[in-house]
A and B are shown apart, each in its own frame.
Chain A
């Protein structure tokens, strides 16, 4: 493309079209631009447009397009990926680098930002080696005196250097930093000084100050980046200049820079906040050099805190400032800065207490944005909040001054509680602060699972609980002072391990009562607190609170929990649903009388949320609760399974028909659980569903496979003969599923689960005609892509087959597929690989199967297979005695990666729909070693002398010794 007016015109038109809302116009234009972006001069045309176009919208559009073009193409990946050639020719690259800085600096802000981004992308690749004059070009602009230009340079420098804050130390990185320091540090320092002077010259000019303060913020950020990796010699030598000025900026205030906005931080706040970060960086990393300056900063930051208001816009500054104090006060050599009683009192009074107050913004969140409030308050995503920072400062101070700090705060807590008592409806926030203060003072260590695990011994938690928490919760009006109610419930929750059990028991009805509170936070906390109390461990690994102790409250608990789900804003409240699940699990059979009502409500809820499932945790706990209802009820009364089916199948059918993807795996799990509850023949309702379960579309979804296989296994266990008689035409479809699964390296084990169930449960004659094909399929997989996982499953399967159909049948079917096949499988697969089989039951199946091959398969005794008899026995003894072989061939390490494209469709397994392990040889063989001895004994009786002579000539000595042990244990001998 030439740099011609015609091309500029064309490009302008296409750029305009890319802004069109109509995709029919937009898409082709985007395609066109993409098709020409490999042409020479294309980027230069864009640069020309963004500079010279008559229309502002085209300028902006060209700058964005240019930035994206650079982002996609500047990096030359062709070195690594052959077919991704370098799209930007060398002359364009040179021209871009020569022009972009002045262009950026002379552009209006909107375009400047885009170009600045582009520069940093280019810089990331080319700077410093391939763009040596960038720095000088930038530094020269510092003298321009034009702060629009200077800020452009600073912004670009910031985006180039900020990576120094997180990259690892390396020769390459430090060479670059050194280069930058040599060229940049002095001019930056001069600029810093000059800017500060200009600030005082223009102290009365608001618009000038804004520009200058923007520069100062950027300069302070650059300082942070340049000083991050290590303390550079230059900055050590010029520490006086920087720190003195930083310090005075911290104490600076200018009415002109104050903003009216309550939320958004102003320039002054941003600058001071960055200075706090800079001071914290030096204090942490360069303590030795920074020590002389530190006390000054402590004082300044502390004064700053005392004089800063409660508005949200100061939050970042305040929490940064408090965190700075918190980190300093823990250091032994700065202890003296804090130890004076007056200092401590003043910090407590003026810094900590005010920042623990419940503010208007918190109140707003409590009422209107409860979910966010709960997340912050309960799950600890409060890292940047003032309260949290204040809390950290308390903990920091307690390291050296626990006694004095506790004493000072006790005074505050008392006076705040007195204030509250005088006039609760006006002063309730004082009590909130008091509770928060006690909490932060008392908690030394905390976990989600156990609440507070280590408490300040100077605080009497139980006393506070009895005197100040319980009375609030006992109040008849659950909707009064919701914040205090939430505080009280949270107190129980986090101090549950400190408060004595009898107090907890006394609190349970109170918590149950608060499930009715209108405030979302309050009833959510009540549910959560109950759930946490129910998971507490007592002695002997039982729950601390027993079902018996809960007996008086079962009805009201269940009623209130389900009622809470009907309160506005909580229809899909995961905390409540989790509490329901936990209550069921704790109460066990005492919930049975309420099951009819419970299951109706759960079913209705299920029906409602299945229209648009949006809360995965809520849904999960709901299905867990359904499973628990079924298990608990059917354990006492197996007949009840029918009523569950009645209640649930209608909704399940709807879910399946509407293909509610999130719920289908759950439905299959619940159905498996129900089906397994049946003791007799499979009900016809299930049989009607059977053909649908074989639909390919279901098996295309990864998340369905495990629960569907599980469900089909349940069908086979309960209804194999019904399938054989009433649905014989579906057997090929069933085997088709097996074939589908076996084809995948990721799912083949699921295919084997299914196949094992088929072999174990289906009447032999019903699968007779397919048996040979099954083996051919398996052999094909074995031949074409064998993996360790496949071999393990395969070995278990053929031995199960051998147990079910006999060793001779196994040999015959193998040899009917291909002559001498049986010997090949023995020699190449079974003998060398049997050691890899893992799992108790799996090993047992293999042991019994191989014993059968050794002792119940005549061709093993009198054909050429005889030579494999001893090696097979030896392998079997190895399976008994040697450690499992868990090596995996090198080339297999990558299989999982290649074969798992869909990570998102994980399968959510229900804990309470669990299935117990099934041992198909359980009754038949108890001890497989004894079984081997007995079988050998039987064989040797049938052909006396043969076994003994084979053993004595070729079995290795160690194996023979083991074998003799087995014979002895079985009290048999060989003839």
Chain B
């Protein structure tokens, strides 16, 4: 989508096509999964639920009395007392810190029975223990979640949402969050079972904070995942509540609603538009400036997604003040924040020159240069994109401003980066700069500047680069701008095998 957009206002060929970068240009990851992402599934191993709402006859010890076989027998038997004890023991096993026996419990075929217990409105304790146990099963692998869903858990949990007992409906919210977090298929299954209205009905001014946190987290999982994205009408239902939740003073609630917004904006422009229309952007900017990394991260992510959108959407982000907070983020000590901030800026820099002007006015160039000089490599790479996009779409004056801010030195230094793509983009950027310099009649000055900053030497070295495109781009710059002083070669010439006697036969002409 960004490509189309770029073509509209920048007819500059190959560079334009690569300007805006979606989050996933390569879907394969070699790295460890990111530590700063939101958690997909959570096991309930804490005791706080019990403390807040002690169920009758509950013992506080973690001691398990029955063996797995005994549990199976009791759960499948008809003695409600034993059923409760067995279910509680199962739940305790599933709460173990290490290696909870999820597989064994599934293999013993306990799930359908436990799902059945969910409907025992008369036995609240049993209902609760079963819900808790199932929550923890759902928190396992996809296999585990599937076993539970196939056991009929979805409708059972959804009906528990309207349980009169808050600790039960809260446990149901949690379980549903785990199911939704499994992926788009179950997420949509939940949505199709009409989970959203019942969930939203739980949100009220009097809902306790702890409960509200769970609801927010579950909502965020309902917004999460692509291929496909959640249905538009579901998103439209969730958004107004999300807008309220994101204003909440509780940090966890804000964080999870931020993540939800980041998922909703990580998509096509019409989805971004839904979010922009809520007027949430100023709040996101506020949260980007938060002192807490866990708040700042999703807010920045969401904003970064918004500016991949149309010019108008990007303008809305600028109007909300995104450019005021970015300098601080570009200078942040954490590499991932630097990187996301630079990525965000790169997409703003792909905009029309009016937006580039705002970028200059808001003082983004100095932190950009700093980032290119001493940022983490991941962030430097994004920074290079900022410069590349800027030089592609900027006016000559703007490009001059960029060069004046000192971008050239770190940019040329990065020609020794160990990343072919980065090198190629820098070489393309240099070509853009030379085009601008030619318009100003300043080619020679730029040549000298590049040489002074040891760039010429690096470009010459790149003529030996193994990557063909890099090598050719380097060669092209050398040949066009740095070849000898007085040996100007004319175009190569060629002959055809003409006859040298001067004669000709007449023919009829018609042009």
A binding-site residues for B, Cβ under 8 Å: 163, 165-171, 174-175, 177-178, 181, 228-233, 236-237, 281, 284-288, 331-332, 380, 383, 445-450, 453-454, 620, 624, 694, 696, 699-700, 702-703, 705-706, 732-733, 735-740, 743-744, 746-747, 750, 770, 773, 776-777, 779-780, 782-783, 786, 817-818, 821, 824-825, 828-829, 896, 899-909, 911
Per a CB cutoff under 8 Å, which of B465, B506, B511 touches A166?
A: B465
* With A740-B498, A900-B491, A900-B494: A911-B418 Cβ-Cβ less than 8 Å: no
User: Which chain A residue lies CB-closest to B470?
Assistant: A166
Q: Report 9 cross-chain contacts, Cβ distance below 8 Å, ordered by A residue.
A: A170-B26, A174-B26, A229-B30, A231-B30, A732-B501, A733-B502, A739-B498, A821-B509, A909-B489
> How many Å lie between the Cα of A27 and that of B325 in the bound state?
74
* Contact partners of B335 in chain A: CB under 8 A: 287-288
Asked whether B451 is an interface residue with its Cβ less than 8 Å from the other chain, the reply is: yes
* With A168-B467, A706-B490: A288-B502 Cβ-Cβ less than 8 Å: no
Across the interface, do B494 and A780 meet the contact criterion of CB distance under 8 Å? no
* Contact partners of B377 in chain A: CB under 8 A: 284-287
User: Which chain B residue lies CB-closest to A445?
Assistant: B452
* Contact partners of A744 in chain B: CB under 8 A: 494-496, 498
The interface on chain B, measured as residues whose beta carbon lies within 8 A of the other chain's beta carbons, has a size of 56
> How many Å lie between the Cα of A824 and that of B508 in the bound state?
12
Across the interface, do B32 and A236 meet the contact criterion of CB distance under 8 Å? yes
User: Which chain B residue lies CB-closest to A735?
Assistant: B502
Near A by CB (< 8 A), chain B positions 355-377 give 374, 376-377
> How many Å lie between the Cα of A181 and that of B30 in the bound state?
9
Across the interface, do A446 and B511 meet the contact criterion of CB distance under 8 Å? no
User: Which chain B residue lies CB-closest to A237?
Assistant: B32
* Contact partners of A700 in chain B: CB under 8 A: 495
B502 shortest CB reach to chain A, Å: 4
| Chain B window 469-511, contacts with chain A (Cβ cutoff 8 Å), 1 for yes, 0 for no | 1100000000000000011111111111011111110111111
Per a CB cutoff under 8 Å, which of A445, A449, A825, A908 touches B511?
A: A825
Across the interface, do A907 and B418 meet the contact criterion of CB distance under 8 Å? no
15 additional A-B residue pairs with CB within 8 Å, beyond A168-B467, A901-B494: A166-B470, A171-B26, A229-B30, A231-B31, A284-B418, A380-B457, A447-B451, A448-B451, A620-B487, A696-B500, A776-B506, A780-B504, A824-B509, A909-B488, A911-B486
Per a CB cutoff under 8 Å, which of B28, B418, B486, B489 touches A228?
A: B418
Q: Which 6 residue pairs are nearest across A and B when measured between Cβ atoms?
A: A702-B493, A445-B452, A174-B28, A736-B500, A166-B466, A735-B502
A384 shortest CB reach to chain B, Å: 10
* Contact partners of B209 in chain A: CB under 8 A: none
> How many Å lie between the Cα of A779 and that of B470 in the bound state?
46
* Contact partners of A453 in chain B: CB under 8 A: 448, 452
Query: Which secondary structure dominates chain B's binding surface?
Result: loop
Asked whether B268 is an interface residue with its Cβ less than 8 Å from the other chain, the reply is: no
Across the interface, do B493 and A454 meet the contact criterion of CB distance under 8 Å? no
* With A236-B31, A779-B509: A906-B502 Cβ-Cβ less than 8 Å: no
> How many Å lie between the Cα of A805 and that of B26 in the bound state?
70
B binding-site residues for A, Cβ under 8 Å: 25-33, 335, 374, 376-377, 417-421, 424, 448, 451-454, 456-457, 461, 465-467, 469-470, 486-496, 498-504, 506-511
User: Which chain B residue lies CB-closest to A779?
Assistant: B509
Across the interface, do B418 and A740 meet the contact criterion of CB distance under 8 Å? no
Across the interface, do A829 and B452 meet the contact criterion of CB distance under 8 Å? no
Per a CB cutoff under 8 Å, which of B420, B453, B492, B506 touches A903?
A: B492
* Contact partners of B494 in chain A: CB under 8 A: 702, 744, 746-747, 899-902
A660 shortest CB reach to chain B, Å: 19
A521 shortest CB reach to chain B, Å: 22
Across the interface, do A171 and B28 meet the contact criterion of CB distance under 8 Å? yes
Across the interface, do A454 and B502 meet the contact criterion of CB distance under 8 Å? no
A699 shortest CB reach to chain B, Å: 7
Across the interface, do B510 and A702 meet the contact criterion of CB distance under 8 Å? no
A448 shortest CB reach to chain B, Å: 7
* Contact partners of B454 in chain A: CB under 8 A: 445
User: Which chain B residue lies CB-closest to A330?
Assistant: B374
* Contact partners of A231 in chain B: CB under 8 A: 30-31
Per a CB cutoff under 8 Å, which of B28, B490, B499 touches A909?
A: B490
> How many Å lie between the Cα of A755 and that of B454 in the bound state?
49
Across the interface, do A829 and B511 meet the contact criterion of CB distance under 8 Å? yes
> How many Å lie between the Cα of A122 and that of B491 in the bound state?
41
* Contact partners of B376 in chain A: CB under 8 A: 287-288
Across the interface, do A740 and B509 meet the contact criterion of CB distance under 8 Å? no
* With A332-B374, A906-B492: A166-B420 Cβ-Cβ less than 8 Å: yes
> How many Å lie between the Cα of A902 and that of B494 in the bound state?
7
* Contact partners of B31 in chain A: CB under 8 A: 230-233, 236
User: Which of B25, B27, B491, B494 gathers most chain A CB within 10 Å?
Assistant: B494
* With A744-B494, A783-B510: A285-B502 Cβ-Cβ less than 8 Å: no
User: Which of B26, B29, B31 gathers most chain A CB within 10 Å?
Assistant: B26
* Contact partners of A166 in chain B: CB under 8 A: 420, 465-467, 470
User: Which chain B residue lies CB-closest to A706?
Assistant: B490
